[in-house]
């Protein structure tokens, strides 16, 4: 894991929102088993500056289902929780690279040449897409032009 557990917890609103103490990766595995509270996802969504439509696309659910689950304050499924934890890593790595949320959001929503002119946000729904976004972050961080 490239991003520290404490940074992941911070991106998800802290232990208070997560409703689970998290000190190491095994604690994160326990969170995956029980499911993150949707409040952690909402917090991360606000940090990214994503709309409900974008979040529902990333989670592969309809926007109306997403909104209904937000209103009901549902817990995320195991798969959704894993995806949200991976998104928190993307967010934290992006903040290391861009240092502020508006610049990160602008980059995520702009076509990127090294991603074949795709918007990074459109790649966040799959593990392979998230890897590509992380690869570009690492290249930028090390001054490598792709």
The structure's pTM equals 0.91
pLDDT digit string (tens) for the chain, length 146 residues: 578 999 999 999 998 888 888 888 998 899 999 999 999 999 999 999 999 999 999 999 999 999 999 999 999 999 999 999 999 999 999 999 999 999 999 999 999 999 999 999 999 999 999 999 999 999 998 888 76
- Do the Cβ atoms of 25 and 9 come closer than 8 Å? no
Q: Is the dihedral of CA 68, 69, 74, 77 positive or negative?
A: positive
Q: What gap in Å lies between CA 13 and CA 2, rounded to an integer?
A: 19
Q: What gap in Å lies between CA 35 and CA 18, rounded to an integer?
A: 9
φ/ψ (deg, to 5) at 75? -85, 155
Residue reference for tokens 């309809």: 62
Residue 144 confidence (pLDDT): 81
Closest C-alpha among 50, 47, 48, 77 to residue 61: 77
Extract the runs of DSSP E, i.e. beta strands, from the chain.
none
Residue 2 confidence (pLDDT): 78
Residue 146 confidence (pLDDT): 64
Residue 19 confidence (pLDDT): 82
- Do the Cβ atoms of 87 and 36 come closer than 8 Å? no
Residue 51 confidence (pLDDT): 95
């Amino acid at each position: 894991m490239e991003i520290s557990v404490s940074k992941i917890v911070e991106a998800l609103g802290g232990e208070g929102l997560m409703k689970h103490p998290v000190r190491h990766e095994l604690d994160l595995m326990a969170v995956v088993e029980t499911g993150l509270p949707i409040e952690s996802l909402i917090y991360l969504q606000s940090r990214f500056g994503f709309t409900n439509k974008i979040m529902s696309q990333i989670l592969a659910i309809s926007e109306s289902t997403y909104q209904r689950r937000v209103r009901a304050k549902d817990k995320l499924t195991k798969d959704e929780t894993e995806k949200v934890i991976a998104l928190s890593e993307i967010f934290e790595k992006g903040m290391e690279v861009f240092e502020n949320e508006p610049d990160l959001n602008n980059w995520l929503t702009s076509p990127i040449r090294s991603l074949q002119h795709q918007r990074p946000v459109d790649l966040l729904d799959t593990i392979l897409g998230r890897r590509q976004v992380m690869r570009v972050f690492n290249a930028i961080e090390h001054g490598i032009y792709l």
